[in-house]
Amino acid sequence: MKSIGVIGGVGPQAGLDFIQKILTNTIAKKDQDHINCMLISCPSLIPDRTGFLLQNEEEKIENPAYGMFESAKCLYLAGVRYAVVACNTAHSSQIYKPFCTMIEESLPEFKIINMLETCLAYIKKNLPLNTSRIGLLATKGTYKSRVYHEYINADDNIELIEPEIQGQERIHQAIYSEKYGIKANSKEIKPQARDWISYEIYRLIDRGADAVILGCTELPLAVPLQNYNIPIIDPGLIAARNLIELIAPEKLLDKNESL
């Protein structure tokens, strides 16, 4: 069987969570029924994506695309032909385009599944037709680069609603705070991080959001998807299911049992 891969380390716990999504969405009665999948987690190779996008002229943070490509090469040499980068912010054109160019030039048989493309395709296909106002919780880098906007066409009838500046800061701290942020406390998510995320979800609902995208792979670690009266969308879950469908569609768990 062919293998699928995950470029992790961005952050490390989110990469593990992505592998878990693959396992729990695969129909399997014994070990051998599962799909061959590989996770590479080399955070030392990949600078912080938000840090790169927000850096000032005096800083010299290397483009994370280079470390992502080194990780991709390792997966390729191990036999992987379909993979995903388990980070929303990494899909910003400033990072993702040079990464894809390196893949196309050096690893032509290696296909990268675009997590944002699969997320928006899922929204258009599966959510009600009147779902047009979509809330977005993400890192400051994702907001600044407007990466999700890059994947929305004018005729998609989708309006992205972002938190106000103070709300963006709350989400940023829920992810990055060394005291209570998810990255620093992934073994046991702190209540303050959960509370800030939940608070901003309800703020987006109050502003008319028909659904909310958890646009950072750390956020689903802290948010139960079923706790709200609107769809809470996990792009990583959708991409994991897409990987399964590409390589072994007969093993994909019914979406009603998963999503």
Distances (CA, A) of 85 to 65, 74, 113, 177, 219: 11, 14, 8, 23, 16
197-230 burial by CB neighbour count: b if 16+ within 10 A, else e?
bbebbebbbeeebbbbbbbbbbbbbbbeeeebeb
Give yes or no: residues 173 and 244 share one domain: no
Give yes or no: residues 128 and 212 share one domain: yes
At residue 138 the predicted structure's pLDDT band, cuts being 50, 70 and 90, is: very high
| 3-class secondary-structure state, position 159 | strand
pLDDT tens-digit series, residues 92-107: 999 999 999 999 999 9
- Return the beta strands (E) in the chain as ranges: 3-8, 37-41, 80-85, 111-113, 133-138, 159-161, 211-215, 232-233
CA 142 to chain centre: 11
> What pLDDT shows up at residue 105?
97
pLDDT tens-digit series, residues 164-184: 999 999 999 999 999 999 999
Q: Is the pLDDT of residue 257 over 80?
A: no
71-91: average pLDDT: 96
Q: Which residues pair with 161 in a beta bridge?
A: 135
**Can you read off the two tokens belonging to residue 251?**
């093993």
> What pLDDT shows up at residue 176?
96
Q: Calculate what percentage of the chain has a pLDDT beyond 90.
A: 84
Domain of residue 40 covers 3-114+237-258
Q: Calculate what percentage of the chain has a pLDDT beyond 70.
A: 98
Q: Is the pLDDT of residue 90 over 90?
A: yes
pTM, two decimal places? 0.93
CA separation for the pair 232, 194 (Å, rounded) = 15
For residue 123, give the CATH number of its domain.
3.40.50.1860
Give yes or no: residues 12 and 105 share one domain: yes
**Can you read off the two tokens belonging to residue 232?**
């809470």
∠ CA 244-65-197, rounded to 5°: 65
Give yes or no: residues 106 and 18 share one domain: yes
Give yes or no: residues 230 and 120 share one domain: yes
Give yes or no: residues 127 and 219 share one domain: yes
CA separation for the pair 12, 221 (Å, rounded) = 12
Contact by Cβ (8 Å): 29, 109? no
> What pLDDT shows up at residue 255?
72
Give yes or no: residues 230 and 124 share one domain: yes
pLDDT tens-digit series, residues 194-238: 999 999 999 999 999 999 999 999 999 999 877 899 999 999 999
Q: Is the pLDDT of residue 258 over 70?
A: no
Residue 10: Cβ within 10 Å count: 28
DSSP character for 26? B
Give yes or no: residues 80 and 34 share one domain: yes
Give yes or no: residues 154 and 195 share one domain: yes
CA separation for the pair 6, 253 (Å, rounded) = 19
Q: Is the pLDDT of residue 1 over 70?
A: no
**Can you read off the two tokens belonging to residue 210?**
């028909």
211 φ, ψ (degrees, to nearest 5) = -160, 165
Domain count, the chain: 2
Residues 6 or more apart from 193 whose CB is under 8 A from it?
A: 174, 175, 177, 180, 181, 182, 185, 222
